[in-house]
Amino acid sequence: MTHPLVTQLRFARSEFVRGLQDVSAEDAVKRIGQMNCISWIIGHLASQENFFWVRMAQGETLFPDLNNLVGFGKPASMPPVAEMWAAWRKITETADRYLSGLTVEDMPRRYDWRSSPIAESVGTLLMRNIYHYWYHLGEGMSVRQALGHQDLPQYVGDMSAALYYPE
């Protein structure tokens, strides 16, 4: 059975996609004031999942330059949205190989993250990843509103895929 936090991460991802998937290539690279552009947001979330669930958890290297392009504290960038969605899809697919096997016993485990500054448990990293999605989804929706997009998705969507169940 899938761990409840993994189910919640997958739901956050699905809402992220629902909120940002139909943004044009032109609008996806527009920055408004200090806000990040939508393509950066997509790549940024992909970068976090790549770091946590692909590189650290599985020892694989996908998109080695992604963090330099869209990482925390890096200079603003406006990468092509199609490239960011492609990276996001590949990374989340690869991450799910690891995430699908997590159990209750895995949640408190801390890894030797190979000189990473992160010293959090698997469960805490999952929660950090989930909250990060919601944070940047709100930012992306603000960008869409500022760009004048109409008929935006309403939140939170269909919860049937993320119903509560005990561990």
Please indicate, yes or no, if residue 38 is contained in any of the structural domains. yes
Q: What is the pLDDT of residue 109?
A: 84
Please indicate, yes or no, if residue 66 is contained in any of the structural domains. yes
Decide if pLDDT at 104 tops 70: yes
**Predicted TM-score (pTM) of this structure:** 0.93
Please indicate, yes or no, if residue 82 is contained in any of the structural domains. yes
Decide if pLDDT at 47 tops 80: yes
Decide if pLDDT at 115 tops 60: no
Decide if pLDDT at 137 tops 60: yes
- Percent of the chain predicted with pLDDT > 70: 95
Q: What is the pLDDT of residue 45?
A: 98
Buried b (16+ CB within 10 A) or exposed e, 44-61: bbbbbbbbbbbbbbeeee
Lowest pLDDT segment from 7-21, 75-89, 109-123: 109-123
For residue 35, name the pLDDT band (cuts at 50, 70, 90).
very high
Summarize the confidence of residues 131-139 as an average pLDDT.
97
Please indicate, yes or no, if residue 62 is contained in any of the structural domains. yes
Please indicate, yes or no, if residue 109 is contained in any of the structural domains. yes
Q: Which phi and psi angles does 83 have, rounded to 5°?
A: -65, -40
Cis peptide upstream of residue 156 (ω within 30 degrees of 0): yes
Q: CA angle, corner 31, sides to 138 and 85, nearest 5?
A: 65
Summarize the confidence of residues 28-44 as an average pLDDT.
96
Please indicate, yes or no, if residue 52 is contained in any of the structural domains. yes
Please indicate, yes or no, if residue 167 is contained in any of the structural domains. no
Taking the C-alpha atoms of residue 61 and residue 140, their distance in angstroms, rounded to an integer, is: 27
CATH number at residue 103: 1.20.120.450
Q: Long-range contacts: 108-117, Cβ < 8 Å, 24+? A: 111/56, 111/57, 113/56, 114/56, 116/56
Q: What is the pLDDT of residue 118?
A: 63
Overall number of domains in the chain: 1
Please indicate, yes or no, if residue 85 is contained in any of the structural domains. yes
Tell me the residue range of the domain where 58 lies. 4-162
